[in-house]
């Protein structure tokens, strides 16, 4: 089992819209062969994927909703 590590979120409010940015680390388990290529017959190796997550939000009568999501590897 792996666990995501989520950093502090930075939120900028602009009336009924907002931009949220959060850094997170995601340990990913993938079976790879000796050459470093995906191979389902091999043992699973874990690597760490670090990403910068951006969310663009809007507020309506039901509350805040995500309008757009962008995730970039760091």
Residue 31, phi-psi category: left (phi > 0), alpha (psi -120 to 50), beta (remainder): beta
Q: Which two tokens stand for residue 32?
A: 């790879």
What share of the chain in percent tops pLDDT 90? 38
Cβ–Cβ < 8 Å for 19, 10: no
Encode pLDDT of 34-59 as tens digits: 888 888 898 887 777 788 889 999 99
- The number of domains in the chain is 1
Going by the DSSP 8-state scheme, the letter that residue 4 receives in this structure is -
**pTM of the predicted structure, to 2 decimals:** 0.59
Domain that includes residue 29, residue range: 5-73
What is the CATH number for 19?
Answer: 3.10.450.50
Rounded distance between C-alpha atoms, residue 55 and residue 41, angstroms: 37
- pLDDT tier at 2, thresholds 50, 70, 90: low
- Sheet strands (E) in 1-74: 5-14, 17-31, 44-60, 63-73
């Amino acid at each position: 089992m792996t666990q995501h590590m989520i950093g502090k979120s930075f939120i900028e409010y602009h009336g009924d819209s907002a931009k949220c940015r959060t850094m997170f680390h995601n340990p990913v388990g993938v079976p790879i062969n000796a050459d470093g290529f995906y191979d389902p017959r091999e043992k699973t190796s874990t690597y760490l994927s670090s990403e910068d997550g951006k969310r663009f939000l809007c507020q309506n009568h039901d509350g805040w909703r995500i309008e757009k999501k962008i995730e970039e590897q760091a």
